[in-house]
Amino acid sequence: MSDLIYEGKAKKVFKGLEPHQYVLYFKDDATAFNAQKKDVIESKGILNQKIASQVFQYLENHEVQTHFIKSLSDREMLVEAVHIIPVEVIVRNITAGSLCKRLGIEENIKLDKPLIEFCLKSDALGDPIMMEEHIYIMNLATHEEIQHIRHEALKINTLLQKLFDDLGITLADFKLEFGKTQAGKIVLADEITPDGCRLWDQATGKILDKDRFRKDLGGLAEAYQEVLTRMTEKALA
């Protein structure tokens, strides 16, 4: 394969054959708590590449601009090259995870409207939560860009809630990353997979996301396979 540009915890990024394109390679590595907990889960990368490709295609079909070009193989996705804005955008529909831990809020409470949080994308600092003003003093993005990102995040949330609801799955929360193309356009980047979402089966309450790994519940690949199977059977439109 072509030159390695970057290796993250769950993916490698390679130069594509064409200019301004990258190839994302999805690994089987699973990490949590800023990589203090690590394991290799066979086939996770394949499942995530397939899930992310279907989700990006669905979002593209609904006029969301993303870096997705096409799936190349089980583990490889061709994307438009972007500079990732080092701000993780978390969208929450139901209380869970760090929101509850940090503020002492009860889990599993439906929010009246989606909550957007920003975290600094920094492994060294453990991805600290940040206020919008912190983004500006660090010059990570402009006010106009963040308003666009907020708008896109809410649109993506509405589309993803519908997508998962149609599969009998509740989308409690998820994390997005945005990137800037060569032309200066901001697009959805990174991945949307059960690694970065909280997905709960509506019939049984079963956890179908990376919380299975974080909480030592086991059966992670089986849960991701369940999500992929439902997506494939439903043939997302």
Q: Interface residues with ligand ASP (CB under 6 A)? A: 9, 31-35, 210, 214
Amino acid at 19: P
Query: Residue 63 touches which of ligand TMP, ligand ASP, none (CB < 5 to 8 A by kind)?
Result: none
Give 16 or 194: the residue with its C-beta nearer to ligand TMP: 194
**CB-wise, 78 or 119, nearer to ligand ASP?**
119
**C-beta of 41: minimal distance to ligand ASP in Å?**
13
| Contact between residue 119 and residue 129 where contact means Cβ atoms under 8 Å apart | yes
Q: Which residue is nearest to ligand TMP (CB)?
A: 97
Q: What is the DSSP letter of 193?
A: S
State which H helix or E strand residue 224 sits in: helix 220-234
212 contact choice in ligand TMP, ligand ASP, none (CB below 5 to 8 Å, kind-dependent): none
Q: How far is CA 1 from the centre of its chain?
A: 25
**Cα–Cα dist 133/115, whole Å:** 17
- Give the nearest distance from C-beta 180 to ligand ASP in angstroms: 22
Q: What angle do CA 191, 196, 201 make, to 5 degrees?
A: 115
- Quote the least distance from Cβ 40 to ligand ASP, whole Å: 13
CA distance 26 to 21: 16
3-state SS, residue 9: coil
Instruction: Provide φ and ψ at 233, rounded to 5°.
Output: -65, -35
For the bound state, the minimum distance from the C-beta of residue 31 to ligand ASP, rounded and expressed in Å, comes to 3
Q: Nearer to ligand TMP by C-beta: 7 or 18?
A: 7
Q: What is the smallest separation between the CB atom of 196 and ligand TMP, expressed in angstroms?
A: 3
Residues that bind ligand TMP (CB under 6 A): 90, 96-99, 127, 173-175, 196-198
